[in-house]
C-alpha cells in the first residue's frame, strides 16, 4: 500500500507548485504603471517605479550638481545617478557605449568628439580659471610668471583635460614656461594636491577654488590673459530614458538651475 502513496505524492506537489506560480503571474498582470514617455508619468518607469537617470558630468560640476540632485529628484520623481570625471574620460566612456542618459562637459572639444552619439548640446554655464596656493599664499605668488619659479612645486591638469588645455593656453600666451611636478586627470585632483600641501600652486577653475573655501588662497588671472570655459550639456542618442534625459538638459537652463550655478560662481550665458 505504500507504493501507491509514493506515486501520488509528486502529483500533489506539482499541483501545489502550479498554484503558487500562478499567484505572482496574476499580480504582474494587474500592474498599470506608466512609462517615462507618458504625459502623466513623469519620472515613472515602465514598471511603475522611479526612473534612474545617469548623468556623466565634468568634475568641476560636482558641488553644484550634488546640490541640485535632491531638488530635481523631488520635482520630477526621478533618481539622479551622478558620475564625475574629467571631460576627456567621460567622452571616452560615451564612445565605449557606457549606459548613460546625459553628458555635461567642461569644453566643447570633448562634446564635439562624441557628436555622433549626442543630441544637440546647449551651453549651460561658463567658468574662468584662477591660480590657487596654500592658505595665506606663503610663497608670495603674484601672477602667472611665478609659476616658472624653480623653488615652487607646480601641479597642472594634463593637456587632454579641458582645464589643463585652457591653463596651457594661458601660460603659452603669457610666455610662461612651466615644468609641472604632475599632470592630473581632472581639476579636482589639482585642487586636492594644493589643499593637501603636496603642491605649492596650481591652476583650477574659479568655482573649484571657491568650493575649497579657506583651504586655499587665490591669485586672480587678469581677464586679458584668462579664458572662458564653456559647459555644454546634451542628451545621449542611446539614452535608456530619452524623455527624462531631454527634460534634465532643459532643466539645467531653468531659473532654479541658473540660481544654483550663479551661486556656485559659474557664469550663465
Structural domains of the chain ordered from first start: 51-126+230-263 (3.40.190.10), 129-220 (3.40.190.10)
pLDDT above 90 covers a percentage of the chain that reads 81
Cell digits for 61? 560640476
pLDDT of 13 reads: 36
Sign of CA dihedral 248, 252, 254, 257: positive
Residue (of 234, 204, 264, 268) closest to 65 by Cα position:
264
Q: Residue 248 burial by CB count (10 A; 0-12/13-18/19+): exposed, middle or buried? A: buried
- What are the tens digits of pLDDT across the range 170-189? 999 999 999 999 999 999 99
Stretch 21-29: mean pLDDT: 36
Q: Indicate the pTM of the whole model.
A: 0.80
Amino acid at each position: 500500500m505504500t507504493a501507491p502513496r509514493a506515486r501520488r505524492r509528486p502529483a500533489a506537489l506539482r499541483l501545489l507548485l502550479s498554484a503558487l506560480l500562478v499567484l505572482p503571474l496574476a499580480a504582474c498582470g494587474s500592474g498599470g504603471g506608466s512609462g517615462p514617455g507618458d504625459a502623466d508619468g513623469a519620472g515613472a518607469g515602465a514598471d511603475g517605479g522611479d526612473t534612474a537617470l545617469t548623468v556623466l558630468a565634468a568634475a568641476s560640476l560636482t558641488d553644484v550638481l550634488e546640490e541640485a540632485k535632491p531638488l530635481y529628484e523631488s520635482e520630477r520623481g526621478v533618481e539622479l545617478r551622478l558620475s564625475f570625471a574629467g571631460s576627456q574620460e567621460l567622452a571616452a566612456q560615451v564612445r565605449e557605449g557606457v549606459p548613460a542618459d546625459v553628458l555635461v562637459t567642461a569644453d566643447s572639444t570633448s562634446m564635439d568628439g562624441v557628436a555622433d552619439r549626442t543630441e544637440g548640446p546647449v551651453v549651460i554655464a561658463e567658468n574662468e580659471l584662477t591660480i590657487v596656493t596654500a592658505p595665506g599664499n606663503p610663497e608670495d605668488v603674484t601672477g602667472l610668471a611665478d609659476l616658472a619659479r624653480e623653488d615652487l612645486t607646480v601641479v597642472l591638469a594634463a593637456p587632454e583635460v579641458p582645464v589643463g588645455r585652457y591653463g596651457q593656453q594661458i601660460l603659452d600666451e603669457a610666455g610662461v614656461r612651466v615644468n609641472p611636478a604632475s599632470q592630473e586627470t581632472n581639476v579636482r585632483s589639482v585642487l586636492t594636491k594644493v589643499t593637501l600641501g603636496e603642491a605649492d600652486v596650481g591652476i583650477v577653475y574659479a568655482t573649484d577654488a571657491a568650493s575649497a573655501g579657506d583651504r586655499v588662497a587665490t591669485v586672480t588671472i587678469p581677464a586679458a590673459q584668462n579664458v572662458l570655459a564653456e559647459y555644454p550639456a546634451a542628451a545621449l542618442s542611446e539614452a535608456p530614458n530619452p524623455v527624462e534625459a531631454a527634460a534634465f538638459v532643459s532643466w539645467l537652463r531653468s531659473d532654479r538651475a541658473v540660481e544654483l550655478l550663479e551661486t556656485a560662481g559659474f557664469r550663465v550665458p
